[in-house]
Structure 1
Amino acid sequence: MAKQYKLTVEKRSETGKLGLKNLRNNKKIPGVYYSYDSTNILFEIDEQEIKNAIQSQANIFTVAVGGKEQNVIFKSVQYHPVTEKIIHIDLYGVDMNKAISIRIPIIFTGNAIGVQTQGGVLNTSLNEIEISCLPSDIPDNIEVDITNLELGGNIQAGEIELGDKFELVTSSDLAVVSVTHAAIEQEPQESDEIEGEEVESEDASGQSSESEAPNEQSESDNKDSD
């Protein structure tokens, strides 16, 4: 059963850069509520309220929007790139009787045999997968047991056991985790380079001695002629 948390929000009229700046200076976070069956609504929420909601680790939130309570999920949360403060939030209204698509974090359990006894390296390709389910069935995470994962093997999204309540949205042939051979660092072959330099030096020396030989022979011929 998905965790639920009640949020207190207020409709807002402030728009534009100056208006949003004033909101944030008063420790308010601007947001947009996207309804699945009616008009979108601009709202504001206390900074501490949204922090508490995130820390609650709830999946479904209840808010009073447009005069009636609605069940919503976080569609997106935007953070300031420097201060990492929350600067905007989008809420998406859900029908508790209709399935929605949502990304769920993956937790890997066990120690892969390919790493423990075969000298491989564990590579994680996906940290979350997208599934479809009823809002009330949204799980906190999905566990993937990697104990029997051998060197050279992988686990694809389609191989994860989800249960009857969930349908996989992520492509089934995407690799989630794998065990590969450890990279082997090749040291530079200094000895070969040195030998090569010596050979080149010897060749140069040989050419030099051969070029001097005719001169010596020429001098000998001159002496004989004298």
Structure 2
Amino acid sequence: MKQLTINATTRKEGGSAASGRLRKEGKIPAIAYGKSKDPTKLFVDSSELRVALREIGNSTPIVKVKEGKGAVRTSIIQEVQRHAITDKYLHVDFREIADDEVVQLEVPVHAVGEPWGVKNEGGTLEYVAHSVAIRSLPKNIPDYIESDVSELKVGDLIHIKELPVIDGAEYMDHAEQPVFTVIK
């Protein structure tokens, strides 16, 4: 799993006026919360957040959040709010997780290989689900789950029960839920 670190600073003021001032300075208001922690108001640098989100791409959004000179905490980027027109970042939510806390989250799935039905039958690979829910300790969470689709013919499916086993994690979605299929 990638270990990305985002530097954050504690902020005292809340509200839309204070958040607007931060955004004009190139900072993004944020909040960090968790099971054993009261919510903390933070802000992060917008360019650092942009780089981190680009680096994460289509992977599990787990990062290390470093508050000033304080401790580095493992967090999930729970939500990123963006402006509807300008697409600029407005707010970020970090859900802190302890190393011994079992968490449930969505992990992206990636297809590997070219399906037989695409090469030979003129079909198209379709992602029925772009991510699947798993439950695991943070150390066992994969960046993504790869599944070999090269044997799929038109009309074939790969279900959750056919995805690779992840050590220390379990799938939470129904075993018969389709993930990939080849359609004509």
Q: Shared topology, TM-score over 0.5?
A: yes
**Residue of structure 1 in register with 2:52 after alignment:** 53
1:99 counterpart residue number: 102
| Residue of structure 1 equivalent to 2:134 | 131
Q: Secondary structure at the match of 1:117?
A: helix
Q: Distance in 2 between matches of 1:29 and 1:143?
A: 33
1:11 is matched by which residue type in structure 2?
T
- How far did residue 77 of structure 1 move? 1.1
Tell me the distance in 1 between the aligned counterparts of 2:27 and 2:147.
39
Contact 1:5 / 1:53 at 8 angstroms: preserved in 2?
yes
Distance in 2 between residues matched to 1:152 and 1:12, nearest whole Å: 54
Q: Percent identity?
A: 26
Residue pair 1:29, 1:86 contacting (<8 A) in 2 also: yes
Indicate yes or no: 2:18 matched with 1:15. no
Deviation sequence 1:66-111 (CA, Å, 0-9, x none): 9544221211111112221111000011111222112121111112
Match of 2:172? Answer: 169
Gaps of 5+ in 1: 183-226
Q: For 2:93, what is the secondary structure of its paired residue?
A: strand
Instruction: Rate the CA distance shift 1:62–1:30 in 2: closer, same or farther, 3 A.
Output: closer
Q: Which has the greater radius of gyration?
A: 1
CA RMSD of the aligned region, Å?
A: 2.1
In structure 2, the residue matched to 1:28 is: 27
- Measure, in 2, the Cα distance between the counterparts of 1:50 and 1:121: 35
3-state DSSP class of the match of 2:153? coil
The change in CA–CA distance for 1:3 and 1:111 in structure 2 (over 3 A counts) is closer
Deviations 1:179-217 (A, max 9, x none): 23x3xxxxxxxxxxxxxxxxxxxxxxxxxxxxxxxxxxx
Conserved? CA contact 1:4–1:62, under 8 Å: no
Unaligned runs of 5+ in 2: none
As a proportion of its length, which structure holds more strand? 2
